[in-house]
Structures are given as structure tokens and as C-alpha cells.
Amino acid sequence: MRTITVKYQGECKKCGAILEIGQQAEYEKTTGIFCVGHFPTDTEEIRAYRQERADRKADKYEEWAAKRRQKADAVFEHNKPMTSDWAFITQPGYIPARARIIAQEDRQYESLQVAKRMEQKAESLRHVRVKGDAEKHWQTKRGMLKAVLKPGMKVIGLGSEPCEVLKVNTKTAKIKGNFGDYNQDLALLRLDTTAMTEEEIKTIHDAMKAAVYPKEPQQKPQVKP
């Protein structure tokens, strides 16, 4: 966020007040423009403003992708009588009409690839990330493993060989590697399940999920007197 001098009349994203030319305002490209002191500080509020902007961009990408797919389908349908004629498409020699159809459909296949990338871009825009999301992701992975990890268990770290856990710390685990003992971030470790049964693996996975995503307690139904 930075403080700017308004060059074009606008309005505060939060309160809707008119921002006159020459007035001071707080601005961030992905969040919007606000009156001084109105810029959001809550993470979820910032996410909401950014998501609103990102959704508009995603809608445009999806619209452009749909137009490309619609045009490609129309071209393929128009050329279908010719492209389904084996005598026409297998006749030896150079046929100008066939060459035009091939070039035309090649362009549409390229257009469909562009449409696919647009749809992928739109999908990524639907999930805005804000400061703290990355650390929350890593902390979730640490919490899941820490719930089941105990000294003596086998884990796989940066290498491919299983290593023995010597001690479990808050964010790291001390493991015995091929070249000595060292500490490794829990988020970068995974359990070695090669010697476990399917039932043991299922029990561990359930415990890992329960540690991070606890089930809400069920409310007892109220009995009317």
C-alpha cells in the first residue's frame, strides 16, 4: 500500500466517498483505492477486495475462451462434410481447397490451446492468495505430520532413502541420515509407509486430518417437554 495524489476522480472502495483530483488517498494495485485511513488491514477483508477484482478478470478470460471455443466448433462443423470425405482427404497431390481447410483447422487448434490457457488463468484467479497463506499452508503440513510422528519412525526427507526419527521438535525433526544427524523441517518430510499395512496407513491418515481439521461436535437434539 502507498499514499498517492489522486489524478482522476474516483471513489473509496470502502465508504464510497468521492475522491477529488489532488486529494490524498491510499492505493494498492490488486486491492483498490481508499480514503486515507480506510485501507483494510484485516487479512480476510483484503482477500475479499482482491478476490472481487480477480473475479472480474477471471470472467473476462472465461468469456474470451468461450468465444474461441465457439468459433473453433463452428469451423470444424462447417468443414465436417469435407474432412469426413476420405476420398477428398486422401487423394494424392496438392489440392488448394484441402490445403486451405488444413491451414484453417490448424489455426483453430492453436486457438483452442490459447483458450485452454485462458481457462487455467481464470481458475487460478478464482483463488486469491494474501500474505500469510504460504506460511499457513506449511504450518498445516507440519501439524498433520507432528500429530503422528514419533521417535523411531521412518521418514523420507530430501533424499530418497528412509531415515529414522530421533526427536520431534515444534517445526522440525531430528533425523538420522546417511551422513549424520540433522534437523529437517516437518513440512518437507513424509512418512515411510512401505512396511505398513493398509489399515495402519488409513489410521495414520485419519489422525493427520483430525489434527488439522477437527470435526465439529454434534449438538444433542433438544427434547421438548
3-class DSSP string for 136-171: HHHHHHHHHHHCCCCCCCEEECCCCCEEEEEEECCC
109 and 171 both lie in a single domain? no
Supply the pLDDT for residue 113. 97
Asked if residue 184 belongs to a domain, the reply is: yes
In the sheet with 32-35, reading across from the earlier edge strand, the strands are 2-5, 24-28, 32-35
77 and 106 both lie in a single domain? yes
120 and 48 both lie in a single domain? yes
120 and 50 both lie in a single domain? yes
At 77, the pLDDT band (50, 70, 90 cuts) reads very high
Average pLDDT over residues 190-214: 84
Per-residue pLDDT tens over the stretch 162-189: 888 999 998 999 988 777 888 989 988 8
Asked if residue 178 belongs to a domain, the reply is: yes
Per-residue pLDDT tens over the stretch 78-130: 999 998 988 888 889 999 999 999 999 999 999 999 999 999 999 999 998 88
At 221, the pLDDT band (50, 70, 90 cuts) reads low
Of the candidates 9, 40, 41, which has an alpha carbon nearest to the alpha carbon of residue 22? 9
Supply the pLDDT for residue 219. 57
Of the candidates 124, 133, 131, 129, which has an alpha carbon nearest to the alpha carbon of residue 57? 124
Asked if residue 200 belongs to a domain, the reply is: yes
- Domain span at residue 177 reads 136-212
92: cell is: 494424392
Radius of gyration of the chain (CA): 29
CA-based torsion, 16, 20, 21, 25: positive or negative: negative
Helix, strand, coil shares of the chain, percent, nearest 5, are: 50, 20, 35
53 and 33 both lie in a single domain? no
Q: Is the model's pLDDT at 30 over the cut of 70?
A: yes
